[in-house]
A and B are shown apart, each in its own frame.
Chain A
Amino acid sequence: MTEFIPCADEVWRLHNLKEPDCLHFQKWCDEGGTLNGDGERTTRQGTYCCTPSGVFLGSANHRDPKRIAEMLRGALKKWKEIKKEDRLLKDDPVKTWEQINRNEKQYPTDGMVLRVNSRDMPRTGLDQNDWRTHAWNFDYAWFRKEEVARMLPKVFEKKAKWQLPADLVQRTCRLHLVDNVRGQTPGFAPENVIEAEVNCEVTRLKKGVVTIQLTGKVKLEQGQRGLEAKMLGEAQYNTKTEKFDKFELVVVGQRWGATQFNRREDDRERSPIGYVLSIASDHATEKVAPTDFGSYGWR
């Protein structure tokens, strides 16, 4: 893999928008045939290889690593047959990057990013050989610096109690506590929030670090789908750096219903689900925008 530059991206945007990176992708993506059936609107999801200049080298959409390895070997062979001046871009791609509108450009460097891990909780009667039994997923919840500041009281005192701002709790619950364990699913609308609250209590004050116990509950309901769960966790706020050193919130309860792509068509009854929200690392792969970032309303 060191012979390639590996990257990952969301396909609908690349396939449908008219931004420079999208047009670049659209120019060559079908040269190996459409990977998911015929039709202009058919998803182009898969694995592709190209030169930076936009010469198609190979494509495949398989879970079998041997098939992907075979495609990569073929792509590398083609790459070596292309002259350097033909495989590289003549214009500086860094300048093009400045013209590309990406949600990732709004990454809240001075705020807080929580990784939201989701997985079904154990239950009886499931086939241990079925991938769905072990499925898990994740997303990222972003908070701007001023939103983090609103989560805190003006003065910290031991046993002080307050609630996290309702708008931030509701946004986090309806956009991130979704049943995405097996696949994509849309967030809930504001009117689908029956209840959502996170209660805070200072349990310790030591050397500028405030330890806060988190408890809460959530109920979301939209037609035949929903979530009802309890929350428990702990946060540690550093008054010197004005950042959370730790923010961990566990959510466990029951989900029900199904959406178009979340693979619950035969699993609509109430069943246990769990989430862990914790501070994301600085790793490049953790700087992807929230799935439903469009609903954040950030400008």
Chain B
Amino acid sequence: MRKLAVALLLLLPLSATHSAEELTEASYDRIVKHIMPSAEEEAWRKLAWRTTFWQGVMDANKEDKPVMLYTMNGHPFGCT
């Protein structure tokens, strides 16, 4: 019985759910900072991206340059 109780206690952390820090005026800024992307995570925006393939083709045709297309399931600049 004692062994069973110990085993059940060991299993507890696995089944427990994780709770979020409560959203209050006091925690607000800290939570925003955690969720928002850092400058490093946003570094990709420094490139002069066109947001559709055809906008890339139009500008490439005008500037006589090759097109580099990055394409994913879900728009890479939205939710992918």
Contacts and interface: CB of A to CB of B under 8 A. Distances in A.
Given A84-B64, A89-B61, A139-B78, A7 B72 contact: no
A275 interface: yes
Given A7-B67, A288-B78, A97 B73 contact: no
Given A7-B56, A94-B58, A288-B77, A47 B37 contact: no
Contacts of B31: 121, 250, 252, 274
A284 B50 contact: yes
Interface in B7-29: 13, 15, 17-25, 28
Interface string B43-74: 00101111111111111110111111111111
Contacts of A7: 49-53, 55-57, 67-70
A155 interface: no
A20 B18 CA distance: 49
A3 B23 contact: no
Contact of B79 (A8, A138, A271): A138
Contacts of B51: 7-9, 104, 284-285, 287-288
Contacts of B20: 121, 252-254, 272-274
A266 interface: no
A240 interface: no
Contacts of A231: 23
Contacts, number: 229
A21 B54 contact: yes
Query: A-side binding surface: helix, strand, loop or mixed?
Result: mixed
Categorize the interface residue count of chain B.
35 or more
Interface residues of A, number: 85
Contacts of A283: 45
Given A1-B47, A7-B51, A72-B68, 14 more contacts: A4-B68, A8-B51, A8-B70, A89-B61, A94-B58, A97-B54, A117-B36, A121-B35, A138-B79, A251-B23, A271-B18, A286-B77, A287-B51, A289-B75
Interface of A: 1, 3-12, 14, 20-21, 24-25, 43-52, 57, 72, 75-76, 79, 84, 87-89, 93-94, 96-97, 100, 102, 104, 117-119, 121-125, 136-140, 180, 183-184, 230-232, 248, 250-254, 261, 269-276, 283-291
14 contacts: A7-B50, A7-B51, A8-B72, A51-B66, A52-B60, A84-B64, A87-B64, A88-B61, A93-B61, A117-B36, A250-B23, A273-B20, A274-B31, A289-B75
